[in-house]
Amino acid sequence: MTAMTMPLWGPLLLPWVLASVLAFLDGRRAWVAWLGIATLAATLVCTALLLPQAWSAHPPEFITGDWPVGVGIRMRADPLSVVYALVSTAVLLGTLVYEHVAGGITSRSFPSLVVFLGAGLTGVFFTSDAFNFYVFFELAMTSAFALASYGETARNLRAAFTFVVVNLMGSMLFLTAVVMLYLTTGTLDMQSMVAWGQAQDPYALVVPGTLLLCAFGVKLGFFPFHFWAPAVYRDAGPTVAALLAGALANIGSYGLLRFGADVMPQVLAYARPLLEVLGAASILYGSVLALSRRDTREVLAYASITQAGLIIAALGLAGGEGLCAAVALALAGSVDKTALFLAQDRGGERARRAYSVAAFSTAGVPPTAGFWSKAWLLKAALAQGHTLLAGLVVLASVLSLISLFRAYQREQWLRQGAALHRGTGAVVFALSLALVATGLWPEPLLRAGRDAIAGLGGLR
């Protein structure tokens, strides 16, 4: 550990410690909000500094207390972890800045909870231990539960209640799955599980695998586990919706990639037909339902179901290309959703532009990040001879173009005289700029997608 390299515990510890500190402070004060923002920004920087190490032949890792593998908890930062952590932290940062500049935070604990959410997400992405994954997952979920009622109108509370109850079921399924994994394989360390799966009968892992699929299905919100999503995204505050759709849903896709492609590749291969069916159903369901919705946030909610369906369909494709596409879809989708949910909130010239950029990205129109992710899926589907899926991707693009731009044209802020807020405009503008920049120079996204998958158990 030299002075030059970033230790792995850096991005893990930073939000955690500062979230605890922030818990004491009144988040409605400007300086506290800025402290939270600075924390997330520093976490982002620390995570970014991990990039070169994560890409090296030996990704950084440590085991708590230097105990033997399995006894202690292993944390590991491979490319998949780092790119997910980067994007999620960036999304959280943008959302927190937005909420602060949009007129001040109205709850004492908001910054602290957002940073806790960040700590939970970073932990989820860096851990290499199934139960530790559950703990961090619960940290993120509980922060989200506490955040969901932010705003505290009857509408927000209703959304929060639905969110909490439905997602508790998901958490329960996940806990059960982790315990079953331990009972079956005798270890909680993911790498050891990979080894177990290669040596023993992988059919024994099918049951926990099914439960994991359903648990992450609830988080990611694909058909038929999505029924909570439209109501929650519509009725929660716009910032909260952005947090849930942009950052928290990443747990779902990451979990499926980590447990599916890394820990239990045999089970993933076994589940492929199912994933294809579920993916196709979500794509169709989300795109068709988004068409007739008149509330923009509901349109966005259904669009995110389509997005989830695309990710699932990508996972269902055999070979590495599909997994790469899933990573790219998840990363681009995360930024898209955040930009969309935030941009539709206040209005103003910049927000309008940001909305259209993010909508183009969601529909897969170049030059945006979303285009490359959809292109990847299309490429993978065509390479597998999966014309039907390719057709669905095309259809989903067209339908989301219609529904998103219908909503865009219907919105009040399209007219003159919409409130123009410099700060909020700047946040959404920055997000849309990131989307366009990635669209113009896709190499980082493409490399992230390719290399994130390269080290996973399924392809080793």
**Residues 21-60 contacting another protein, CB under 8 A:** 21, 23-24
250 binds another protein (CB under 8 A): no
459 binds another protein (CB under 8 A): no
Smallest distance from another protein to CB 424, Å: 21
Q: Quick one: 398 or 459, whose CB is closer to another protein?
A: 398
- For another protein, which residue of 187, 282, 334, 344 counts as binding (CB under 8 A)? 187
180 binds another protein (CB under 8 A): yes
5 binds another protein (CB under 8 A): no
CB 95 within 8 A of CB 239: yes
Q: Radius of gyration of the chain from Cα atoms?
A: 20
Q: Within 208-227, which residues bind another protein (CB under 8 A)?
A: 208, 210-211, 213-214, 218, 224-225, 227
Of residues 36, 14, 12, 11, the one with CA closest to residue 24: 36
Q: Quick one: 30 or 398, whose CB is closer to another protein?
A: 398
- For another protein, which residue of 45, 49, 102, 231 counts as binding (CB under 8 A)? 231
Determine phi and psi for 129, rounding to 5 degrees: -135, 130
Smallest distance from another protein to CB 292, Å: 4
Of residues 81, 193, 79, 78, the one with CA closest to residue 131: 193
Smallest distance from another protein to CB 72, Å: 6
Q: Quick one: 278 or 330, whose CB is closer to another protein?
A: 278
Q: Quick one: 410 or 422, whose CB is closer to another protein?
A: 410
Residue 53: count of CB within 10 angstroms of its CB: 17
235 binds another protein (CB under 8 A): yes
- For another protein, which residue of 228, 233, 341, 429 counts as binding (CB under 8 A)? 228
- For another protein, which residue of 48, 102, 157, 418 counts as binding (CB under 8 A)? 157
**Taking contact as CB under 8 A, which single stretch among the options 35-43, 88-96, 252-260, 386-394 is the one that binds another protein?**
386-394
Q: CB under 8 Å to 178, separation ≥6 — which residues?
A: 130, 131, 133, 134, 188, 208
Smallest distance from another protein to CB 38, Å: 18
Dist CA 274 CA 442 (whole Å)? 31
Q: CB under 8 Å to 171, separation ≥6 — which residues?
A: 137, 138, 141, 215
The 272-311 contact track toward another protein, x by CB under 8 A, reads: --x----------x--xxxxxxxx--x-------------
Smallest distance from another protein to CB 109, Å: 4
Of residues 85, 157, 86, the one with CA closest to residue 126: 85
- For another protein, which residue of 41, 42, 48, 169 counts as binding (CB under 8 A)? 169
- For another protein, which residue of 11, 123, 333, 425 counts as binding (CB under 8 A)? 123
Instruction: Extract the tokens encoding 453.
Output: 């998958």
Q: Quick one: 26 or 48, whose CB is closer to another protein?
A: 26
188 binds another protein (CB under 8 A): yes
Smallest distance from another protein to CB 331, Å: 14
Binding residues for another protein, total number by CB under 8 A: 139
Smallest distance from another protein to CB 80, Å: 16
Smallest distance from another protein to CB 360, Å: 6
320 binds another protein (CB under 8 A): no
Q: Within 63-82, which residues bind another protein (CB under 8 A)?
A: 63-68, 70-73, 75
389 binds another protein (CB under 8 A): no
- For another protein, which residue of 398, 419, 422, 459 counts as binding (CB under 8 A)? 398
265 binds another protein (CB under 8 A): no
- For another protein, which residue of 88, 149, 306, 432 counts as binding (CB under 8 A)? 149
Q: Quick one: 2 or 56, whose CB is closer to another protein?
A: 2
Q: Within 344-373, which residues bind another protein (CB under 8 A)?
A: 360, 363-367, 371
The 101-120 contact track toward another protein, x by CB under 8 A, reads: ------xxxx-xx--x--xx
Dist CA 123 CA 129 (whole Å)? 10
